[in-house]
Structure 1
Amino acid sequence: MSLPSFPLRTEQDRARAILILQKVDLTKGITWTMREEVRSDAQNRRMWAMLRDISRQVEWYGQKLSDEDWKHIFSASVEKQRAVPGLDGGFVVLGVSTRRKSKKWFNDMFLVMEAFAAERGVKFTTADHWGIAA
């Protein structure tokens, strides 16, 4: 049996989930998982717009970094990630994918990005360019 996947936002959604779970055959070995909603398309567009603005306006220790580089820096900050020595010298940040991060996680990352940008005088493009309302 394939269980449907849908967001739980209303009491009607909760009731629907309860009805589905009540019909599950417990002898079938079903696994059921709940998780926070992952980032929205609007959050994804906002993240890349902010990263683009930062990459164009900030020099980091004498280097211009790509949007992707900045994504790693900010996600590492939110995750409190560790860096370990690389095999051939330098350091490697133990990575994290943002693809399945929750909406709340993204809001935390936006706060880090906004604080960083404010300290360095970065001017963000308007919310219109992010594809979301301000």
Structure 2
Amino acid sequence: MAGQTVILVGESQRHFARSLIDQAPAGAVVNVRKAKRTVDQNAKMWAMLSDISRAAPEGRLWTTDTWKAAFMHALGHEIMWQPGLNGQPFPAGFRTSRLDKEQMADLITLIQEYGDRHGVEWTAPEVAA
């Protein structure tokens, strides 16, 4: 039995998932989790981080990765700083690829609120609206 991923959007998918469980051999593993962030959410986040990085609010000349780490930290996600090969620290640990849709929406909202407060000009039309 090959691995199966079922996205539970309706009753037919729930029925199919139950049938997979009924057919599963002893010792099989079932993992139910919230859906991961979407590709569109990820693209929007990086566009927003680029806009903020270019705007340099409060004189912060940060890279998009540094901004991402700052916003993740502001939401309470663990960021670990590791010593780099050149002695300069870099962020490691919690990644946005591990966020579910709701967590990613919270991150995007925080980025938008911060950017709006600091006069960031959004390049993505849906952000500017």
Paired position in structure 2 for 1:99: 97
Paired position in structure 1 for 2:72: 75
Q: Distance in 2 between matches of 1:16 and 1:3?
A: 14
**Residues 60-71 of structure 1: pairs in structure 2 closer than 5 A:** 60=58, 62-71=59-68
Q: Unaligned stretches of 5+ in structure 1? A: none
Structure 1 residue 97, shift from structure 2 partner: 1.0
- Provide TM-score, normalisation by structure 2: 0.81
Q: Verify the 8 A CA contact 1:59 1:65 in the aligned structure 2.
A: no
Partner residue of 2:35 out of 10, 25, 37: 37
Paired position in structure 2 for 1:2: 2
Structure 1 residue 120, shift from structure 2 partner: 0.6
| 93 and 52 in structure 1: CA distance in 2 versus 1, 3 angstrom threshold | closer
Q: Verify the 8 A CA contact 1:58 1:120 in the aligned structure 2.
A: no
| CA shift digits 1:66-115 (9 cap, x unpaired) | 1111111111112354778x8xxx98867311112111110010111111
Q: Where in structure 1 do 4 or more consecutive aligned residues deviate above 2 Å?
A: 79-84, 90-95
How many matched pairs?
Answer: 126
What's the Cα RMSD here? 2.7
Q: Distance in 2 between matches of 1:4 and 1:100?
A: 20
Amino acid at match of 2:95: S
- Describe the SS at the equivalent of 1:99: helix
Structure 1 residue 8, shift from structure 2 partner: 1.0
- Provide TM-score, normalisation by structure 1: 0.78
| 66 and 35 in structure 1: CA distance in 2 versus 1, 3 angstrom threshold | same
Paired position in structure 1 for 2:52: 54
**Residues 92-131 of structure 1: pairs in structure 2 closer than 5 A:** 95-127=93-125
| CA shift digits 1:22-65 (9 cap, x unpaired) | 11122xx11111111111111111010000000000245x4400
Q: Verify the 8 A CA contact 2:69 2:79 in the aligned structure 1.
A: no
Amino acid at match of 2:18: I
